[in-house]
C-alpha cells in the first residue's frame, strides 16, 4: 500500500487546522494510501498532539527531543530526510514554516516540488495533477508533477476541507531515536511579539479596509472619513504597511491581525489568500474594486466595480446626510 506523509504544525498541545486539511489533500492523491503524520516537538504538548492525531492518521510518528521545542526548519529538514523513506510523497502546509522548509526538503529528498497547491485532481500513474494560482490569484493553472521519485507538495491553508471523520484508529510510533543530528548553522534565539498599536482593529464590528488601490498616503483621509461616517475603524492590507503609511497593527492577514467584524469593506484590495486568511467569522464583505475580475469578488457578498477614490467620498456624503 502506498504511504503519504504529512508534517504537522502544532502549538500549545493543539494541532494546527491544516493537520486535518492535509488528510483531504492526501486522499485526493490516493484514497487508499496509508496516511502518516510526522510530529516533532518536545514533552507533554507533543504527546497530546500525537495522541489526538491517532484518530485521524493511520500512523503518527512522534519525534521528541528538547532541541525540537521550537521548530527550526533547518533542523527539521535534516530530521525528515533521516526518517522519511526515499521516494515518498510529503505534504506540508504552505505558511511561514512550510515556505521555510519545503523547497529545500524536495532537493534533499531528490523529489519534485509543487508549492501552494489549492486543489489536487488525483494521480495518473506517476503524475499528480494539481491546481494552483499565479499572479496574485488572477490566473489559475493546472500543473503536473512527476512523482515517480516522490514529491513534496505544500498545500494552501483553508483550501482543503478538514477531514473530521476521526476513524483512522491509528498507531503511535516513537521515532525519536532515528532523528539523527539536530544541529544546524542557524540558531533560534527568540520570538519578538508584534507591537500593539493605538487602535485595536480586532475589536471593531465594522472595518473600512484599504489596499494598494488607495494609491497615495494622502488618500487615507478619504477612507478615514468614510469610517467616521460609518462608525468604523480603518484597517489595511499589507502593501499599505510596507509603505509605512499605516502601522503594522492595522494590517489584516496571516502576517497581521485576525479580525472578526460583522461588516468588512474591502476598498481597493485584490483578495490575496494571505489577506483573506486574516478575516474570520464570515463577515458581510463589501468589495469595491476597479477591476471587475479582481479575485476579491469571488469571496465578497456585495461587489461594486468602481474607483474607490470617487466612490468612497460619495458614500460618505450620502451616509452623512442620513
Partner 1 sequence: MEILVCVKRVPDTAENEIEVKGDGTDIERDDLVYSVNEWDNYAVEEAIQIRDKVGGSVTVVTVGDEESEEVLRREMAMGADNGILLSDDAFENSDGKGVAAILKAEIEKGKYDLILTGAQADDGAGQVGGMLAAMMDLPYASLVNLIDVVDDSTLKIGREIEGGNQEMSEIGLPCVLSIQTGINEPRYVGIRGIRKVASVDIPVHGVADLGLPADAVGETGAKVKRMDYFVPEMGDGAEILEGSTEEIIDKLIEHLKAKGGLK
Ligand X SMILES: Cc1cc2nc3c(=O)[nH]c(=O)nc-3n(C[C@H](O)[C@H](O)[C@H](O)COP(=O)(O)OP(=O)(O)OC[C@H]3O[C@@H](n4cnc5c(N)ncnc54)[C@H](O)[C@@H]3O)c2cc1C
Binding mask 44-73 for partner 1 (x = CB under 8 A): ----------------------------xx
Nearer to partner 1, 58 or 255 (CB): 255
With b for 16 or more beta-carbon neighbours within 10 A and e for fewer, the 85-103 pattern comes to: eeebbbbbbbbebbebbbe
- Residue 287 CB contacts under 8 Å (≥ 6 apart), including other chains: 266, 269, 271, 294, 296, 297, 300, 302, 303, 304
Nearer to ligand X, 20 or 252 (CB): 252
Window contacting ligand X (CB under 6 A); options: 27-35, 67-75, 84-92, 284-292: 284-292
The total of other beta-carbon atoms located within 10 Å of residue 238's CB is 21
Nearer to partner 1, 14 or 319 (CB): 319
Query: Which of 30, 47, 52, 100 forms a contact with partner 1 (CB under 8 A)?
Result: 100
Q: Give the alpha-carbon dihedral of 279, 284, 288, 291, to 10 degrees.
A: 70
Q: How far is it, in rounded angstroms, from Cα 12 to Cα 49?
A: 9
Q: Shortest approach of partner 1 to residue 160 CB, angstroms?
A: 16
Q: Which residues 289-308 are close enough to bind partner 1 by CB under 8 A?
A: 291-293, 297-306
Q: Which residues 130-189 are close enough to bind ligand X by CB under 6 A?
A: 136
Please list the residues that pair with 267 across neighbouring strands: 210, 288
Q: Which residues 2-41 are close enough to bind partner 1 by CB under 8 A?
A: none
Task: State residue 93 phi and psi, 5-degree precision.
Answer: -70, 140
Nearer to partner 1, 60 or 315 (CB): 315
Q: Which does 174 bind (CB under 5 to 8 A by kind): ligand X, partner 1, none?
A: none
Q: How far is it, in rounded angstroms, from Cα 147 to Cα 87?
A: 8
With b for 16 or more beta-carbon neighbours within 10 A and e for fewer, the 144-173 pattern comes to: ebebeebbbbbbbbbbbeebeeeebebebe
Q: Shortest approach of partner 1 to residue 169 CB, angstroms?
A: 32
Q: How many CA atoms lie within 13 A of 20 on its CB side?
A: 16
The answer to the question of residue 197 lying near ligand X (CB under 6 A) is: no
The answer to the question of residue 165 lying near partner 1 (CB under 8 A) is: no
Window contacting ligand X (CB under 6 A); options: 164-172, 197-205, 210-218, 313-321: 210-218
> Which residues are near ligand X by CB under 6 A?
96, 136, 211-213, 215, 237-239, 251-256, 268-270, 272, 274-275, 278, 288-291, 294, 307-309
Amino acid at each position: 500500500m502506498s504511504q503519504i506523509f504529512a508534517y504537522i504544525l502544532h502549538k500549545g498541545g493543539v494541532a494546527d487546522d491544516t493537520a486535518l486539511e492535509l488528510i483531504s489533500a492526501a486522499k485526493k492523491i490516493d484514497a487508499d494510501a496509508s496516511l502518516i503524520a510526522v510530529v516533532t516537538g518536545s514533552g507533554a504538548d507533543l504527546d497530546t498532539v500525537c495522541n489526538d492525531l491517532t484518530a485521524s492518521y493511520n500512523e503518527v510518528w512522534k519525534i521528541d527531543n528538547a532541541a525540537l521545542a521550537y521548530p527550526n526548519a533547518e533542523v527539521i529538514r535534516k530530521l525528515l530526510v533521516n526518517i522519511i523513506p526515499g521516494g515518498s510523497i510529503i505534504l506540508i502546509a504552505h505558511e511561514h514554516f512550510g515556505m521555510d522548509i519545503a523547497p529545500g526538503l524536495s532537493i534533499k529528498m531528490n523529489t519534485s516540488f509543487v508549492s501552494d497547491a489549492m486543489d489536487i485532481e488525483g494521480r495518473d500513474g506517476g503524475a499528480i495533477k494539481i491546481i494552483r494560482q499565479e499572479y496574485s490569484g488572477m490566473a489559475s493553472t493546472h500543473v503536473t508533477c512527476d512523482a515517480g521519485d516522490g514529491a513534496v507538495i505544500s498545500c494552501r491553508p483553508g483550501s482543503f476541507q478538514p477531514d473530521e471523520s476521526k476513524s483512522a484508529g491509528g498507531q503511535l510510533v516513537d521515532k525519536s531515536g532515528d532523528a539523527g543530528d539536530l544541529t544546524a548553522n542557524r540558531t533560534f534565539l527568540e520570538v519578538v511579539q508584534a507591537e500593539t498599536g493605538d487602535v485595536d482593529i480586532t475589536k471593531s464590528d465594522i472595518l473600512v479596509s484599504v489596499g494598494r488601490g488607495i494609491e497615495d498616503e494622502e488618500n487615507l483621509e478619504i477612507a478615514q472619513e468614510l469610517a467616521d461616517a460609518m462608525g468604523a475603524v480603518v484597517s489595511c492590507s499589507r502593501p499599505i504597511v510596507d509603505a509605512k503609511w499605516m502601522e503594522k497593527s492595522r494590517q489584516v492577514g496571516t502576517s497581521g491581525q485576525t479580525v472578526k467584524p460583522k461588516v468588512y469593506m474591502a476598498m481597493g484590495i485584490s483578495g490575496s489568500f494571505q489577506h483573506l486568511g486574516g478575516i474570520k467569522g464570515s463577515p458581510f464583505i463589501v468589495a469595491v474594486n476597479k477591476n471587475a475580475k479582481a479575485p476579491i469578488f469571488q469571496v465578497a457578498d456585495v461587489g461594486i466595480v468602481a474607483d474607490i477614490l470617487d466612490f468612497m467620498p460619495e458614500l460618505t456624503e450620502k451616509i452623512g446626510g442620513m
